[in-house]
Amino acid sequence: MAEGERGQFSRKIDNLFRAVFMAEDGKSRSSLLLYSFCLAIAFVLVFIVSYMFLLEPLERAFSSRSVFVRNIVEYTVPAIVACIPCLALSFAFRRRMNMVPAAFLWIDVMVLITFITTAFAAGGENWATDYRMFLNVLGLPMLVSAVLGTIGSLVIYKRRKQ
């Protein structure tokens, strides 16, 4: 990527973040938006680490099972393990109980954007094969993680609010 293109791309990203997170006077539009977005990035990293460390042992443990059973276990177990510390943060934010559900909603938006972008980016003759590979390798684990985290955080939020 040339320096001029990188500068233009950086300006577009800066303008997008300014439009979403900053008000006209340069102050933060909403601290919840900004903090939950940063927390969502941290949660994504927790999910990535969970999948990195757990996939190989799960593959070895369930190697004699069918592919369907292995896939279900490999999608759900790392997601559940990663959700535990993320959802535990719900109890750390006493005044901002909605921070964790908002972070998981950001993750849902990121997953949706990834699905749409990949649908348009996977082109050519083998579009269905490329998109199916994306779904198996990244799409379904991201979706399972986002859905489990969102449901868990909303349940905790409703219980704490009562």
Q: What is the mean pLDDT of residues 43-51?
A: 93
At residue 138, the pLDDT reads 80
At residue 22, the pLDDT reads 66
Give, in degrees to the nearest 5, the angle at Cα 107 between 103 and 130. 170
pLDDT in tens, 65-115: 998 899 889 889 999 999 999 988 888 877 777 888 989 999 988 888 888
At residue 141, the pLDDT reads 87
What six digits make up the tokens of 129? 């094969």
Categorize the per-residue pLDDT at 5 as very low, low, confident or very high, splitting at 50, 70 and 90: low
Q: Which of 40, 37, 63, 55 is nearest to 141 (CA)?
A: 55
Q: Which residues pair with 28 in a beta bridge?
A: 22
Which one-letter amino acid corresponds to residue 42? A
At residue 114, the pLDDT reads 85
Contact 47, 87 (CB under 8 A): no
At residue 160, the pLDDT reads 83
Question: At 33, which helix (H) or strand (E)?
Answer: helix 31-61
